[in-house]
Amino acid sequence: MPEAPANRRGMAIFLLLSMVVLGVFPLDVVLPSFPALAEYYQRTPSDIALSVSLFAIGISISQLLIGPLSDKLGRKSLLLTGMAMSIVGAAGCVLSTHYLGFLLFRCVQAVGCGCFVLSQALVQDLFTGKKRDSLRILMVTASGLAISLSPLAGTLLQETFDWPGSFWLFIALASGVWIIAWHQLTEHPAPAQPSQSLLGAYAIVCRSPMFISYWLIAALAFACHFSFIVVSPLLFLEQLQLTSYRYSLILLLYGAAYVSGGLMAHLLARRISANSQIIVGLLLILVAGALMLLLYRLMGLSVPSVLLPMIVCTAGITIARPIATSRAMDVFPEWAGTASSVGSALIFIFAGTVSALVNLIPGSLQITLATGFVSMSVIALGLIACICQHQRIQPAA
């Protein structure tokens, strides 16, 4: 598909980054409002946490359907429909006076938010070559920064507007994104065969070892980030007894590391091959895990012994993940929607599984986290070595 005209590329980039930022609202920004939601609906915090689980299930199922459908029906109509559903769901949550109604509308919001999976397909449709890689680096950087800022944003919204604040802001931002998408996107005819079933489309892309291997590398890299985000409240708030304010500042610094990592990724992309860039990123994650183990032995659990390795790890993630994603999406450009759905599913599965294991394995959380970084980076390095061998190139080329 030809690249978007120059006058539309700027708005397309803004649209894609807005979708990335919107993606953190339904899960991450709402977390500080759990106690207020529990009090409002006269439920336990664990009941409110159920809404997060239902949301994750709903968005996962929705993404698996939206991706292949977009290859048949086009991106624009599905994106607009999904955004509209997410707005209706968020409004329903705010207006619900009963807990079951709140859960129902959270599911509606989740199904609508499944359209965010189209961001990768839109990158594939609208950009080419190095511009795709650069934009994906920017999107990964924005995603990490948004997630890092989420606790602070959620706390400010809760203190200022109570629990509906995050939902109202989501509605406002989603409405703006809907208007931009309606004006800026054009409906491209689907390049894939219209007679292909959804399962058939998945069978086509999942039969490629190259496609699956690149997506697994991206998923393993993201799992390192996600597992830290999940256990960070336990490390900093529960074990180190930091205040919520200091915890927010730590995550701000972590977000700044994402920006620095993105700049490094842009510089490397101009100088070395894609596979070499992936290897550099994975080696940094491996070094981060080893450094965290060493600092824990020397200092025990402390802010520096966790944060310094995480800065190195973040650099590795922002270097490896977007390039692995681009290489995976390039395998099946004609099935971009289906390909992005498969990748999103792998990322959700690995992130959820790894973070759960880190929480459940007995012993020191920091040691478990560091061991996870080492293990996942070694597995990913094995995958990229197999890819390089298959392509008959030297890994360091």
Segment 166-213, tens digit of pLDDT: 999 999 999 999 999 998 888 655 554 445 677 777 888 888 999 999
- Among the candidates 137, 172, 191, a domain finishes at 191
Q: Say yes or no: 66 and 101 in one domain.
A: yes
* Nearest partner of 66 among 12, 19, 129, 10, judged by Cα: 19
Does residue 57 or residue 212 have the better pLDDT? 212
- Which pLDDT does position 237 carry in this prediction? 79
pLDDT above 70 covers a percentage of the chain that reads: 93
Q: Label residues 266-278 b or e (16+ Cβ within 10 Å = b).
A: bebbeeebbbbbb
Number of domains in the chain: 2
Residues 174 and 258 in one domain: no
Across 99-110, average pLDDT: 94
Q: Out of 187-201, 282-296, 322-336, 381-395, which region has the weakest mean confidence (pLDDT)?
A: 187-201
Average predicted confidence (pLDDT) for the chain: 86
Out of 151, 169, 191, pick the residue that ends a domain. Answer: 191
pLDDT at 196: 64
Query: Do 41 and 186 have their domain in common?
Result: yes
**pLDDT at 314 (0 to 100):** 92
Band the pLDDT of 297: cuts 50, 70, 90. Answer: very high
The residue from 171, 191, 211 where one domain ends is 191
Angle between helix 45-73 and 336-360 (nearest 10): 160
Other CB atoms within a 10 A radius of the CB of residue 207 amount to 9
| Domain CATH number, residue 83 | 1.20.1250.20
Say whether both 178 and 108 belong to one domain.
yes
Are the CB atoms for 31 and 163 separated by under 8 Å? no
Q: Are residues 100 and 227 in the same domain?
A: no
Domain of 171, in residue numbers: 1-191
Q: How confident is the model at residue 309 (pLDDT cuts 50, 70, 90)?
A: very high
Which pLDDT does position 1 carry in this prediction? 46
Whether residues 251 and 335 share a domain: the answer is yes
Q: What integer pLDDT is reported at residue 97 of this predicted model? A: 94
Same domain, 132 and 157: yes
pLDDT (0 to 100) of residue 213: 95
130 and 229 together in one domain: no
Q: Is the pLDDT of residue 397 over 70?
A: no
Looking at the fold, whether 153 and 228 belong to one and the same domain comes out as: no
Reported as a pLDDT band with limits 50, 70 and 90, residue 42 is very high
Pair (257, 385) in one structural domain: yes
Query: For 145-171, what is the mean pLDDT?
Result: 88
Q: Which two tokens stand for residue 17?
A: 């980054």
Residues 159 and 277 in one domain: no
Pair 139, 213 in one domain: no
Which helix (H) or strand (E) covers residue 270, if one does? none
For the whole model, what pTM was predicted? 0.79
